[in-house]
Chains A and B, each alone.
Chain A
Amino acid sequence: MLQTQPQSTAAPPAPAVRLRNGRLAFGDRLLFDGLSLELPAGAITCLLGPSGVGKTSLLRLLAGLAESAQGEVTADDGLPISGRVAFMAQQDLLLPWSTVLGNVLLGPRLRGTLGEADTKDRAATLVAQVGLAGHERDHPAQLSAGMRQRVALARTLMEDRPVVLMDEPFSALDAITRYELQALAARLLAGRTVFLVTHDPMEALRLGHRVHVLAGRPAQLDAALEPEGLVPRELTEPHLLALQGELLRRLSEAHQAA
């Protein structure tokens, strides 16, 4: 059984998300075909794999941003998936002309719901939760890379979507900042259905309830590793070290195959 944590916010219960018949081809180059993936409800699913194997395309397919990838994405509660997904990329994508608070409020501003009660209070609370209290009125240029990614995390949480898709969100950060942000993200995203694309096996084992490797051509998913323990985990535990060895073995095979 997957271990999930109690929900930290009053978000609607997160559905499990299923992809069937995922297909991506560029011309006659087939990246994957007939691919299936299940994101268990309220858990973090991590995806590793060599560059160029189609990890980002898979994430964009789930986000409804696919240009060339096709597939059937469903939620197990029968409701449509669109409008229930929040997206966080490797670049923080902060608007340089807007303040920290303004960036967190981007979603409500684009939807015209800025005037709704407690929207701004909620944004201020999230800014404080990601550890940026006092920086509400700063502009992105005044912040470090780690702080900027914290703002991006707050903006993602502001959307309050049950499904969160993250594409290497911490890969541009230094080791210590990344370590801190992983713990923060695991805490704040608890209870949501999260799909995290990463190139860092440690990150996957620290955060993932399930860890997949996408490899081969056309690419296929292996059987998932399911590390034990509550996230964020400390990687000093012996069973995680064993899994890390297993994961590195799978990844190096994937690299040789690619």
Chain B
Amino acid sequence: MTYLRPIVIFLCLIGAWQALVWLTGVEHFILPGPGRVAVALVERWPSLLRHAGITIVEILLGLAIGVVLGCASAIVISALRPARRWLLPVLVVSQAIPVFALAPILVLWLGYGLASKVAMATLIIYFPVTAAFFDGLRRTDPGWLDLARTMGGSRPAVLLHLQIPAALPALTSGLRVATAVAPIGAIVGEWVGSSGGLGYLMLHANARLQVDVMFAALFVLALFSVTLYFTVDWALRRAIPWQADDAKDHRAG
């Protein structure tokens, strides 16, 4: 039943979509039915695959760089008190600027290629990762810190062996958010200026009223995002089995 449920939900949504098309009699260049989209998916498969490859590389690179930068920032901010006073306000203010507003500037600076999209994806996930990890690092059980003090642990050793492992469950919630929003960064970057990728393909198809191709591209993107999310979620659960996790109870039910 556990594995059947998503399939049932998927089929119901497809059914509702088809019903909507039938009932309203809407033109296919406004809302194509699932059948038309499936045909576009098959006919345009090689082109979709090529563009998807570009977007996927952007998302994965953005994720990797964003996570590394976010974790490093969180560690620096929590380990160095003076850095905290200077960097924390900067971090918060940086979030007040919508990342989307930066997209045109990033394209201007970094060009139409891969770099500007990777930068977008990196920027959009940097804050959730940093904030979640920093929060975890700050909330180490005071009892553990007392124990470490009586044991004579140095500050770097306490950070490495106590604070960082203790903050990993908090980091995972940041990583889940990051995985969910990284595709947004890449796609917005492609919309603003690019010569390849699923976002580019969608704009290109939109201009030609090829709405079925748009939907096919959207479908490929959604498929990848969902796969990525569940892969990351699964990997995190395996890597950090000790975290308090009520998802296990849901799965049992």
Contact = CB atoms under 8 A, between A and B. Distances in A.
A102 B153 CA distance: 15
Interface stretch (A1-9, A68-76, A109-117, A190-198): A109-117
A200 B248 CA distance: 39
A60 B145 CA distance: 13
B148 A95 contact: no
B161 A139 contact: no
A107 interface: yes
A139 B165 CA distance: 15
B9 interface: no
Interface residues of B, number: 21
Interface in A129-166: 139, 141, 159
Given A83-B152, A110-B151, A110-B154, A65 B146 contact: yes
A110 B153 contact: yes
A63 B166 CA distance: 24
B236 interface: no
B162 interface: yes
Binding site secondary structure of chain B: helix
A172 interface: no
Given A106-B161, A109-B161, A93 B152 contact: no
B149 interface: yes
A174 to B, nearest CB: 22
A95 B162 contact: yes
Contacts of B240: 97
Interface stretch (A19-27, A84-92, A215-223, A248-256): A84-92
Interface in B147-170: 147-154, 157-158, 161-162, 165-166, 168
Contacts of A110: 148, 151-154, 157-158, 161-162
5 contacts: A63-B146, A96-B242, A97-B168, A110-B148, A112-B154
